[in-house]
Each structure stands twice: as C-alpha cells, then as structure tokens.
C-alpha cells in the first residue's frame, strides 16, 4: 500500500531523516514510535506529500508521489485523511463547516446529504450537536475528535494520525485509541500513527516501527517490540534515558 | 596589512553584502512567483460566468450560492466595507488640513481662490491613493499576514493541502481580488471626501463662496487626474495583497514568527507603495504631461 524507500531530509544542516525505509500494508495500523523531535512527523508529512525529500521516494499504490503533478497529488490526497497534532481546524469556520469542507470542495453532494454525512462523522467520533460551535469553543480532546471527523468525511482509505493522544488526558487518550481501533476493525482503513505514547502504541498497532536517528531500526508486532533485544528500542519503550542522565537535545 | 588579514576584512565586508543581496533576490523571486501563481489561479476562476451572472439581476441568487464568489465577497466586506470609516476620517481630515495649510501660504499672495483646485488635484493625483493605500496596508495587509501566518504555524495551511485544496486558490486569490476591487473604490471615495474636507474649511472657515469653490474644484480636475490615481490604487492593491500573502505563507516559528512577518509585511508594503508612487508619478508626468 505505502512504501517508504530511503527517505532522507535535512533541515538547516540537521539530518532529520537519513534513509528511512518502511513498508505499510493494506488495512493495517502501523505505529511509528521515536523520540520527540526525531522526525516522526516529518516522515508522516512526506507520506502525504506535504514535504519534499532530499532523496528517496514514497510509493502509494504504485504511484511515486513526489513525481506527481499538483493535480494528480490532489486527487491522490482524496484517499487520505490526516489528523494533525493540534487538530488544525479552520478557526474561521464552524465545526460543521470544518467537517464538510472537503465534501463541499470536491463532491457534487447536496446540502442535505452533506449535513447527513457531517452528522454521521461526528457521531462516529462520539460528538453530537456541536456543528454550530466554533473550534475555539471546544476543549483540546473535542478538537482532536472533530479533526478526526474532518479526516473521515471523504471516507479515506488511509488515515495519518500525528500524535493523536498528545495533549489530552489519559481517559480521552483511551477514547481516541478506541476510535482508531474501531476505524481499523470496522472500516478497514489503513492507519499510520505517529506517537511516543507506548500505551497507545501497544493498543492500536498491528505493527510498530521505531524511528531512531533518521532510520527505522526495528519493525515488529507489539509482542515482538515488547520482547526486543535491541538496546535502543528497549530503553525507549521502558522510558530509560541514556546513561540515566537527562539528555537535552 | 598582511594578506590573510586583508582577506578576512574583505570577507567580513563582502560576505554580508552577498548574503543580503541573495536574500533580497530570493524574496523578490518568491513574491513574484506567488503573484504569478495567483494570477494563474485568477485566470482559472470562472470569470466569464461571473460577469454574465453579475449583469443579470435574476441570476444573482446563483452568485450568492457560488462558494468562490462567496469567499471573494466575504473578503470585500472585511477589506473594503469595514475599512471605510477609517478611510473616511483620514481623507476628511487630510482635505481639511490641506486647505488650511495652503490658505496659510496663499493668503500672503491673496490667492485663496486656488485652494479648491489645489486640494482637488493633490487629493485625486496623490494623497487619495497613497494615504488610502498606507492605511489599508496597516489595517488590512497586517491582518492578512497575521491570519495566514497563524494558519501556517497551526498547520491549517497543511490541513488545506491534505484536503486537496490549494491554499493559493482558497486563501490568496479571494484576498487579492477583493483588494484589487476595493482599494480603487476606497480611493475614489477618499478623493471625494478629501475634496469635501477642503470645501468645509474653504467655505465655512475661509469664507470663499460655495459655488466659486466648487467651480474652482471641478474646472481644475481632468479625467486623467482621477484615472492616474485609480491606476496607482490598483498597483498598490497588488503590492499590499502579494506582500501580505507571501509573508503570511512564509511564516515560521510560532507566535513570534507571526509578529515578525506581520511587521515585515507592513514595512515592506509601505516602502514599495512609496517607491511605486514615485515611479508612477514620474511616469505619468513624462508620458501624459
């Protein structure tokens, strides 16, 4: 479904991705773990073509996305939904208009049909009657769920989640984890989750990949990762810092 | 001086020059590219249909439901209608001050009669377009940059991309169209209001006869005075909206970054407006004397 091949990216002489390779299968939920600032979000943004790599490629259903024209890329992106870390809702629009955004832009659907779909998507993420509110009136957890509803509106085949549980309380994190699991089980969407929350990683992941110093150093099922012998991965999942000292980067 | 020291001095002097000229040209290139892309997006809008719909009143309902038209209308309201009070005050007072200041000078040679002509010509040819553009750059240009910059740093621009929507078409084109239409309109009003300000001072304070003042005003004005002013306004609108959108889209670095690009947007717009004004005034002076 999605192949990431030798992806490299440098920001101001800081090598963020250094030949990352990863193969994401159709219908699975792939969790990418790694340290904050370690390039997980950058990797995710390359998958949907929000960033251009210095080298390497991403192939989605046989199409090399960095070679596509803007129109072709736009068409391809309709198959994707993305949940941003801060939800990235359009704050000039209401919740309903946010969720309906892609429907109004890209489908010939009538107003009633759109409202129906909006209600359905909001219900799927456990929200009701918030269509007329502005994003600023919502709590962080609600905003994330609206962001997810917006990502779901076009019935995408792939959903990219950027730190879905960061910045929400543990119970809301559990609600979001369950949602991701549900989408995977019921709608059979492919998921790519970027997180450093190991509770979430074990709960939602079919497979987990560890990104370290710009490379994917291990890929495996949650059980395999739990029982890994790789010292870097072990230290990360158990939450032990290098040499027991706080390393500031 | 040793060669090594000389080299290091040269390097210290020349390198920043190279860097800043590089930065200058990349800015010029980047913003011109943006304007070019906007113009392409502009061409891609269903203009023909709009014109037809605008001309036929019973088709206005269709326009009201057209999303792109709606975006432009929203911006026109924000940019133009909401700016009117500020433009009104600025140009009214400018017209009044202009009349008073010229009276101060013209009284010495007993030529107060010419105040009307002076106010009318300075407003339409120069002060109307320039003052309005500066006010709008401060009020609207800054707001555009701050809004787009915030959207950039909160990933809303990225979100637009993921929803297969081109931010240039969705955000920049409506703003440049709205400014392109509204700034000349505001300028036209500013001209008239400035003349009104001059009239108030001239007639009620300096005691020039009302009809005499109006005659002096209208007889001195030519169509080309209005036209060159409005032409400048169109150019200023392109400057303000291009710089504002460019600075907004290029914002990085959180709240501080938004503040920085907003300041830059206003400063660069001001400088370019003044420079463009000088250029076009000279051009019109020599081409249409």
pLDDT tens-place string over residues A148-194:
999 999 999 999 999 999 888 888 899 899 999 988 888 889 999 99
Sign for the CA dihedral angle at B139, B142, B144, B146 comes to negative
Last residue in a domain, options A155, A172, A190: A155
Reduced to 3 states (helix: H, G, I; strand: E, B; else coil), residue B14 is helix
Looking up residue A135, the CATH number of its domain turns out to be 1.20.1580.10
Q: Does A219 lie in the same domain as A105?
A: no
* Strand order across the beta sheet in which A207-212 lies: A80-83, A158-162, A190-195, A29-33, A207-212, A215-220
Is B158's CB within 8 Å of A70's CB?
Answer: no
Give CA–CA dist A77/A222, Å, rounded: 29
A240 in B contact zone (CB under 8 Å):
no
Residues 135-154 of B with CB under 8 A from A: 151, 154
Is B166's CB within 8 Å of A74's CB?
Answer: yes
Domain for residue A226, yes or no? yes
Question: Could you give the C-alpha distances from A177 to A182, B61, B178, in angstroms and in order?
Answer: 9, 46, 44
Question: Could you give the C-alpha distances from B156 to A89, A118, A137, A138, A143, in angstroms and in order?
Answer: 6, 20, 17, 17, 13
Q: Does A169 lie in the same domain as A64?
A: yes
Number of folded domains that form chain A:
2
Give CA–CA dist B239/B229, Å, rounded: 15
Is B164's CB within 8 Å of A81's CB?
Answer: no
Q: Does A143 lie in the same domain as A163?
A: no
Q: Does A237 lie in the same domain as A135?
A: no
Percent of chain A at pLDDT > 90 equals 64
Q: Does A42 lie in the same domain as A137?
A: no
Give CA–CA dist B272/B284, Å, rounded: 18
Q: pLDDT means per 10 residues in chain B (289 residues)?
A: 70 81 83 76 56 64 69 89 95 95 89 90 94 96 96 94 89 89 94 95 91 91 90 94 93 93 96 95 85
pLDDT digits (tens, 9 = 90+) for B206-251: 888 999 999 999 998 988 888 999 999 999 999 999 999 999 999 9
Looking at beta carbons, which residues of chain B come within 8 Å of A45?
158
Question: Could you give the C-alpha distances from A154 to A104, A105, A160, A245, in angstroms and in order?
Answer: 10, 11, 14, 46
For B203, the token pair is 């007639």
Q: Does A168 lie in the same domain as A51?
A: yes
Last residue in a domain, options A124, A155, A186: A155
Burial class (CB in 10 A: 0-12, 13-18, 19+), B9: exposed
User: Minimal CA–CA distance to A199: which of A221, A168, A173, A236?
Assistant: A173
Q: Does A73 lie in the same domain as A168?
A: yes
pLDDT digits (tens, 9 = 90+) for A189-210: 999 999 999 999 999 999 999 9
Burial class (CB in 10 A: 0-12, 13-18, 19+), B29: exposed
Sign for the CA dihedral angle at B150, B152, B157, B162 comes to negative
Q: Give the pLDDT of residue B42.
A: 58
Last residue in a domain, options A155, A184, A199: A155
Is A78's CB within 8 Å of B164's CB?
Answer: yes
Q: Does A96 lie in the same domain as A63?
A: no
Q: Does A61 lie in the same domain as A181?
A: yes
Q: Does A165 lie in the same domain as A67?
A: yes
The nearest alpha carbon in chain A to B156 belongs to A88
Domain for residue A84, yes or no? no
Reduced to 3 states (helix: H, G, I; strand: E, B; else coil), residue B250 is coil
Residues 6+ apart with CB under 8 A from B150: B156, B251, B258
Q: Does A169 lie in the same domain as A137?
A: no
Is A86's CB within 8 Å of B162's CB?
Answer: no
Query: Which residue in the set A75, A84, A105 is minimally distant from B159, CB to CB?
Result: A84
B65 in A contact zone (CB under 8 Å):
no
Domain for residue A85, yes or no? no
Q: What is the CA radius of gyration of chain A?
A: 18
Nearest CA distance, B248 vs chain A (angstrom): 16
Residues 6+ apart with CB under 8 A from B135: B83, B86, B87, B90
Mean pLDDT of A222-244: 85
B224 in A contact zone (CB under 8 Å):
no
Q: What is the ipTM of this complex?
A: 0.90
User: Minimal CA–CA distance to A16: which of A55, A66, A70, A62?
Assistant: A55
Q: Does A220 lie in the same domain as A174?
A: yes
Q: State the distance between the two ends of chain A, measured CA to CA, in whole angstroms.
A: 34
Containing structural domain, residue A128: 90-155
Give CA–CA dist B251/B145, Å, rounded: 9
Q: What is the CA radius of gyration of chain B?
A: 23
Q: Give the pLDDT of residue A244.
A: 52
Dihedral pair phi/psi, residue A197, rounded to 5°: -95, 105
Looking up residue A230, the CATH number of its domain turns out to be 3.40.50.300
- Pair A190, A28: CB distance under 8 Å: yes
Q: Give the pLDDT of residue A247.
A: 47
Domain for residue A37, yes or no? yes
Looking at beta carbons, which residues of chain A come within 8 Å of B163?
77, 101-102, 105, 150
């Amino acid at each position: 479904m999605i192949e990431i091949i030798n992806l490299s990216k440098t920001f101001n002489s800081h090598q963020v991705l250094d030949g990352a390779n990863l193969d994401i299968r159709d219908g699975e939920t792939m969790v990418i773990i790694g340290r904050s600032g370690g390039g997980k979000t950058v990797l995710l943004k390359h998958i949907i073509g929000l960033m251009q790599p210095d080298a390497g490629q991403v192939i989605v259903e046989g199409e090399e996305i960095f070679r596509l024209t803007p129109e072709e890329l736009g068409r391809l992106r309709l198959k994707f939904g993305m949940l941003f870390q801060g939800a990235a809702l359009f704050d000039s629009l209401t919740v309903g208009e946010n969720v309906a955004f892609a429907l109004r832009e890209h489908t010939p659907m009538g107003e009633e049909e759109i409202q129906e779909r909006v209600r359905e998507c909001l219900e799927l993420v456990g929200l009701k009657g918030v269509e007329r509110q502005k994003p600023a009136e919502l709590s962080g957890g609600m905003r994330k769920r609206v962001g997810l509803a917006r990502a779901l509106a076009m019935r995408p085949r792939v959903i990219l989640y950027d730190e879905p549980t960061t910045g929400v309380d543990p119970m809301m994190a559990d609600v979001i984890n369950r949602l991701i699991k549900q989408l995977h089980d019921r709608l059979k969407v492919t998921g790519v989750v970027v997180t450093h929350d190991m509770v979430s990683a074990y709960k939602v992941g079919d497979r987990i990949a560890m990104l370290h110093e710009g490379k994917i150093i291990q890929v495996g099922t949650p059980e395999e990762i739990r029982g890994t012998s790789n010292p870097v991965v072990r230290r990360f999942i158990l939450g032990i810092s290098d040499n027991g000292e706080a390393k500031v980067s | 001086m040793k060669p090594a020291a000389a080299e290091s001095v040269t390097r210290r002097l020349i390198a920043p020059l190279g860097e800043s000229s590089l930065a200058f040209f990349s800015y010029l290139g980047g913003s011109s590219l943006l304007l070019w892309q906007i113009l392409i997006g502009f061409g891609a809008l269903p203009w023909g249909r709009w014109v037809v719909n605008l001309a036929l009143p019973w088709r206005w309902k269709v326009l009201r439901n057209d999303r792109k038209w709606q975006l432009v209308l929203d911006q026109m309201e924000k940019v133009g209608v909401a700016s009117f009070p500020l433009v009104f005050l600025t140009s009214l007072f400018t017209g009044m001050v202009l009349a008073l200041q010229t009276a101060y000078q013209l009284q010495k040679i007993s030529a107060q009669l010419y105040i009307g002509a002076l106010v009318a010509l300075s407003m339409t040819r120069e002060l109307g377009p320039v003052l309005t553009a500066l006010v709008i750059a401060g009020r609207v240009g800054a707001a555009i940059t701050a809004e787009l910059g915030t959207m950039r740093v909160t990933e809303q621009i990225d979100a637009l991309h993921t929803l297969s929507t081109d931010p240039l078409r969705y955000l920049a084109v409506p703003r440049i169209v709205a400014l392109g239409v509204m700034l000349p309109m505001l300028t036209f009003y500013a001209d008239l209001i400035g003349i009104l300000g001059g009239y108030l001072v001239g007639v009620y304070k300096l005691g020039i006869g009302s009809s005499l003042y109006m005659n002096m005003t209208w007889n001195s004005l030519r169509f080309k005075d209005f036209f060159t002013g409005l032409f400048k306004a169109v150019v200023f609108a392109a400057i303000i909206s291009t710089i504002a959108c460019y600075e907004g889209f290029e914002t990085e670095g959180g709240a501080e970054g938004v503040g920085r690009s907003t300041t830059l947007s206003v400063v660069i717009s001001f400088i370019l407006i003044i420079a463009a004004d000088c250029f076009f005034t000279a051009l019109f002076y020599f081409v249409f004397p």
